[in-house]
């Protein structure tokens, strides 16, 4: 009886070629079309990978800056980006290495640049989020979380006080609120204030910046203005807040100065506003308050750019040169003494001082000592 396909005797003989040929003919077109269809997305994927690799090579080929300041600025930008990407445990460990004082009531850290104290839109990590981890690093896994006693701006470095107990934190917060805490800051300014020491006593109010809808800045709200050479009292805004800042020049050059600032009040961005709009000496790296009408990188003089070894196009990467160098707390208990806490400025701050021809204060000023008094750790 004839078979419907290939005869069995010829399966591996002459008939096998005809049988395999017919099978090949039957399935070749679908298989080829399927392979071609599969290869198309694969080619697109390879093309995308190749483009990504080329972009990566272009970035790696970008020459590293030879200028040490530009190198340090790039490192700082990379560091602040890493702060938002690292694991919270790594961030807490980094904060623990910056502890300048620790006792049974308080922990004092040297807050790094670019790290916010509280969370908010676009903030992945902040100091308040890692306080439970920091407490466990210091006192073991059963430790209760540390508590914030005050705040510093994201761009400000320096003394940051934490408390082990909520009651102690509230006690320190009350000392801040009633202005019993003495705070000292260092700031590198563009230009030198005249006079070189004094008090800025001008109220501050929050306003919407001109031509920048939905963008608010703190602004001066003076009680007097000059009209035809006469001082005229003006009606103050009901939202204006009393703001008082003591200042003195510690060192100066033709184009910059190192100032010691002592805020009597604690209004948001008070030091930055008083220096920029009150004394016409904005803080180096203050891209928010260097110009009221614009939200743009700080415009620096050719002299300062040359000393820093920067181009104006790179000025946007300059960090804010504002450092909380010293804080004195009154005695928390009757048998205790007042506590003076001191933090050294970051490396970029010291490097800018040197390049701008500004001198670091001597040990008499206290802000460049490593130890705290009393109870140094």
Which residues carry out catalysis? 153
Spatial separation of the C-alpha atoms in residues 146 and 131, rounded to whole Å: 5
The continuous run of DSSP H or E covering 36 comes out as: helix 14-61
- Cis peptide, bond prior to residue 195, ω within 30 of zero: yes
Asked if 286 and 299 count as a contact pair (C-beta separation under 8 A), the reply is no
Q: Which whole-number Å values give the CA distances from 263 to 174, 251, 374, in the listed order? A: 17, 19, 23
Asked if 124 and 85 count as a contact pair (C-beta separation under 8 A), the reply is yes
Q: Which whole-number Å values give the CA distances from 253 to 52, 98, 353, 358, in the listed order? A: 48, 32, 10, 7
CB atoms within 10 A of CB 357: 13
Asked if 291 and 217 count as a contact pair (C-beta separation under 8 A), the reply is no
Q: Supply φ then ψ for residue 312, to 5 degrees.
A: -60, -35
Q: Which whole-number Å values give the CA distances from 309 to 74, 131, 355, in the listed order? A: 13, 38, 9
Side-chain half-sphere exposure of 201, counting CA atoms within 13 A: 4
* Among 310, 133, 280, 72, CA closest to 192: 280
Spatial separation of the C-alpha atoms in residues 103 and 139, rounded to whole Å: 12
Q: Any idea what the Cα angle at residue 242 is, between residues 209 and 332, rounded to 5°?
A: 120
**Residues composing the chain:** 377
């Amino acid at each position: 009886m004839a078979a419907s396909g290939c005869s069995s005797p010829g399966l591996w003989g002459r008939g096998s070629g005809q049988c395999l040929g017919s099978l090949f003919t039957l399935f070749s077109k679908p298989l080829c079309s399927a392979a071609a269809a599969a290869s198309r997305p694969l080619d697109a994927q390879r093309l995308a990978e190749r483009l990504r690799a080329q972009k990566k090579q272009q970035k790696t080929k970008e020459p590293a800056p030879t200028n040490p300041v530009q190198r340090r600025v790039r490192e700082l930008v990379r560091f602040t980006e890493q702060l938002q990407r690292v694991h919270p445990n790594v961030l807490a460990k980094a904060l623990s290495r910056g502890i300048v004082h620790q006792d049974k009531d308080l922990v004092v850290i040297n807050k790094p640049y670019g790290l916010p104290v509280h969370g908010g839109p676009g903030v992945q990590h902040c100091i308040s989020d890692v306080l439970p981890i920091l407490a466990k690093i210091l006192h073991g896994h059963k430790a209760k979380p540390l508590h914030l006693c005050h705040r510093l701006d994201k761009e400000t470095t320096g003394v940051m006080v934490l408390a082990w107990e909520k009651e102690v934190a509230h006690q320190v917060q009350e000392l801040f609120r009633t202005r019993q805490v003495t705070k000292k800051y260092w700031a590198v300014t563009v230009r030198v204030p005249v006079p070189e020491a004094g008090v800025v006593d001008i109220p501050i109010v929050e306003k919407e910046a001109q031509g920048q809808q939905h963008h608010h800045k703190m602004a001066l709200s003076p009680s007097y203005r000059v009209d035809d050479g006469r001082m005229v009292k003006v009606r103050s805004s009901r939202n204006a807040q009393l703001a008082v800042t003591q200042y003195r020049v510690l060192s100066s050059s033709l184009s910059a100065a190192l100032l010691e600032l002592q805020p009597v009040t604690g209004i948001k961005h008070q030091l930055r506003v008083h220096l920029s709009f009150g004394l016409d000496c904005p803080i180096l790296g203050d891209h928010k308050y260097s110009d009221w009408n614009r939200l743009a990188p700080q415009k620096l003089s050719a002299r300062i750019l040359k000393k820093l070894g920067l181009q104006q196009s790179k000025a946007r990467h300059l960090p804010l040169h504002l450092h909380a160098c010293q804080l004195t707390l009154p005695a928390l208990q009757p048998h205790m003494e007042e506590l003076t806490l001191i933090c050294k400025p970051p490396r970029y701050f010291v490097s800018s001082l040197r390049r701008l021809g500004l001198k670091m204060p001597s040990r008499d000023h206290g802000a460049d000592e490593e130890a705290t008094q009393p109870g140094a750790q």
